[in-house]
Structure 1
Amino acid sequence: MGAPATGDEAWMAAAARLALRARPLCRPNPGVGALLLSEGERPRVMARGWTRESGRPHAEAIALEAFAGGGAKGMTLHVTLEPCAHASKRGPACCDVVADAAPARVVIGQRDPDPRTAGEGIARLERAGIDVALLDDAASAASLADYLTLRRLGRPRVTLKLALSLDGCIALADGTSQWITGDEARAHVHAMRARHDAILVGGGTWRADRPRLDVRLRGLEERSPQRLVLTRGVKPDGVTVVNEPADIADLDGVLSVYVEGGAGAASAFLEADLVDELHLYRAPIVIGDGLRALGSLGLDGPDGLEHAHGRWRRSYCCQLGSDSFTAYQRVR
């Protein structure tokens, strides 16, 4: 296996950004990005591809087909995930497609943990005489976070969203909560919904508010996620019921879940340590005697505070109108 070359990380970061176009329409397959580069000291992008709706064609096949019908001799292919090594009724193994195209190099962002591939894709490329470099870079891992979580932990990746006042409330004492944040923050939430396979609220929130749980951004309405309700009560019409947070592992074809509330559902997922990413929208208002964002997380006792430290790492922050947004990643 060859070593990474100068510039490989930058090209892979570009491929990872391209991969974001695939999610979530490509489910149940991972969203992968691929770039085919020309030869020489100053390579140019000759073709690009990302996983298409319902998972086929794959990114590599699209990029290779876009350039000269699949031939790529002497070129370099950057792909965020190891090309698959298993054929299916929907198409051939991507490692064989790439081998037939005969690029000089293939640079891979992440090894595929799927046991049907898991290094075999790389091995076949090398047996075909292709130089392969495995980067294991952060950009590819971030773009594949949903898929990698499902493969490694056996469940969808969970993002918890909380919209808060400065003093940590999600509603007034009487339950009034529309609207804590402004237009820009609400539009950002809808964009996050469009990137997830399923959206979940607690039974109390569903019964009290009957939220639509859809995407209301022009052009993205068809990306409204599957609706889930966390409850042990009567199954509401038009939604899927989840009795316990751990039951998300049984959801068919779901790689990512966006938990929006309320306090009971948020606390249940945090206490079960099933939250991988935390999104905090904070409005510049003070409510005082309002409803708190979270209930008990099981941290009581002399060592509770110690266990609360070191769990979260800030990964991104920005201003959305008068509101602030901060994302935190769970440290595992």
Structure 2
Amino acid sequence: MRQEDPVATHAAHAVPDADTRAMRRAVELAARGLGSTSPNPVVGCVVTDAAGTIVGEGWHQRAGGPHAEVHALRAAGPAARGGTAYVTLEPCNHTGRTGPCAQALLDAGITRVVYAVSDPNPQASGGAATLRAAGVATEAGLLADEAEAGNTAWLTSVRLGRPHVLWKYAATLDGRIAAADGSSRWISSAESRADVHRLRAEADAVVVGSGTLHADDPHLAVRGIAGATQPLRVVLDTRATVPPAARVLDDAAPTLIAVADDLDEEATRHLAGRDLVRLPRDGHGIRVEALLAELHRRGVRSVLLEGGPTLAGAFVAAGAVDTVVGYLAPVLLGAGPAALADAGITTLTDALRLRITATDRIGPDLRITAVPATTPVPTAPKEH
């Protein structure tokens, strides 16, 4: 049986439509795990029998549970023998809380494996090599871009050693997030606000600064999505000024309060019993890199940045914004704070250029999704 180079892109071959359809279905299945698999990746798998008929589907549903391949193989049963497995991520090759998926595919009698993205995790990679050594034909790269996009949070965390950061904001068409008098409820539509709850449900942590906390008293928990896993609510509160009655301190979701590491014990006494972490500051703000390192240590792989323009500016300056989602409302104000404050950019040549990946109508609003066109260069984080 012809065996493929594991790093060769699938585009180099004539790709049958059936392969593309099966992998696209696997990508769709993987998305069902968003928000519930961290710190593991989201993965989808489709199994076809020897004749090319789909006989099994599965996705990784929760950390510690069976992987996508196992679910799909269980659904396929004996029909998997002699068939093909389409997987969005290279089958794992290690034993953790579950066994290696490469071995499960071999035990099921799969004779061909097509995967979209190679596993960058050195602890789990090597599944393709194991399969090839056992005589299984392997092909890599089919719909890699789509699979990468769906698994971007986990891939970012493995490759960069920090959580993926998605900055979300809502603004008028002229870029204002509030009126001159500070009023901001509601610039965006009810449909856009509901969509933000979807973003929260897909994130491991939601981050705000003390400015937003005092101005808006946000709750930050997920509402309106059945079965959603509540994200960790994170408040960057350098001077420990969070009021005891703040809504973010209720028991609807866990909350972490990050304060400066040079505060004395008296300054944080009112937060006794809370999940509190002391982190270094840069000027008057928590260092972004230190925060992300702490969150990564806690297993957080994706962050939704919901703070105001100053906090967003600090993350942009630190080169720590991986995706931007802006909800633009058909409203004009002409005055008021802009969506992004000082990010250390003083000339147009240093602007952070973005590549728009999607534009969608959300009720009356326009949702724009974009990613940095080039890798941002970190500068000193700004105060927040």
For residue 158 of structure 1, what is the aligned residue in structure 2?
A: 165
Of 270, 291, 300, the match for 1:254: 300
For residue 329 of structure 1, what is the aligned residue in structure 2?
A: 371
Give the TM-score normalised by the residue count of structure 1.
0.92
Give the TM-score normalised by the residue count of structure 2.
0.80
For residue 156 of structure 2, what is the aligned residue in structure 1?
A: 149
Does residue 1:66 correspond to 2:108, yes or no?
Answer: no
SS of equivalent residue, structure 1 residue 223 = coil
Of 15, 24, 29, the match for 1:13: 24
Note the C-alpha offset of 1:194.
Answer: 1.1
**How many residues were matched structurally?**
322
Note the C-alpha offset of 1:266.
Answer: 1.0
The separation in 2 between residues aligned to 1:21 and 1:185, in whole angstroms, is: 21
Runs of 5+ unmatched residues, structure 1: none
Of 251, 254, 257, the match for 1:241: 257
Decide which moves more: 29-38 or 9-18. 9-18
Note the C-alpha offset of 1:154.
Answer: 0.7
Q: Residue by residue, what CA displacement relative to the aligned partner does 1:76-125 show, whole Å, maximum 9, x if unpaired?
A: 1000111111112x22111111111121210011110111233x211110
Identity of aligned residues (%): 37
Note the C-alpha offset of 1:255.
Answer: 1.1
Work out whether residues 46 and 56 of structure 2, in 8 Å CA contact, stay in contact via their aligned partners in 1: yes
For residue 88 of structure 2, what is the aligned residue in structure 1?
A: 80
The separation in 1 between residues aligned to 2:338 and 2:129, in whole angstroms, is: 53
Note the C-alpha offset of 1:174.
Answer: 2.3
Runs of 5+ unmatched residues, structure 2: 5-9, 243-248, 259-285, 376-384
Does residue 1:127 correspond to 2:133, yes or no?
Answer: yes
Work out whether residues 102 and 130 of structure 1, in 8 Å CA contact, stay in contact via their aligned partners in 2: no
The separation in 2 between residues aligned to 1:264 and 1:58, in whole angstroms, is: 40
Letter in 2 for 1:20: A
Q: How does 1:213-232 map to 2 (within 5 A)?
A: 213-220=220-227, 222-232=228-238
- Decide whether aligned partners of structure 1 residues 55 and 314 sit closer, same or farther in structure 2, where only a CA change above 3 A counts: farther
Q: How does 1:163-178 map to 2 (within 5 A)?
A: 163-178=170-185
Which of structure 1's runs of 4+ aligned residues deviate more than 6 A? none
- Decide whether aligned partners of structure 1 residues 79 and 259 sit closer, same or farther in structure 2, where only a CA change above 3 A counts: same
Of 275, 297, 306, the match for 2:343: 297
Note the C-alpha offset of 1:65.
Answer: 1.4
Does residue 1:274 correspond to 2:358, yes or no?
Answer: no
- Decide whether aligned partners of structure 1 residues 28 and 218 sit closer, same or farther in structure 2, where only a CA change above 3 A counts: closer
Work out whether residues 230 and 245 of structure 1, in 8 Å CA contact, stay in contact via their aligned partners in 2: no
Note the C-alpha offset of 1:33.
Answer: 0.3
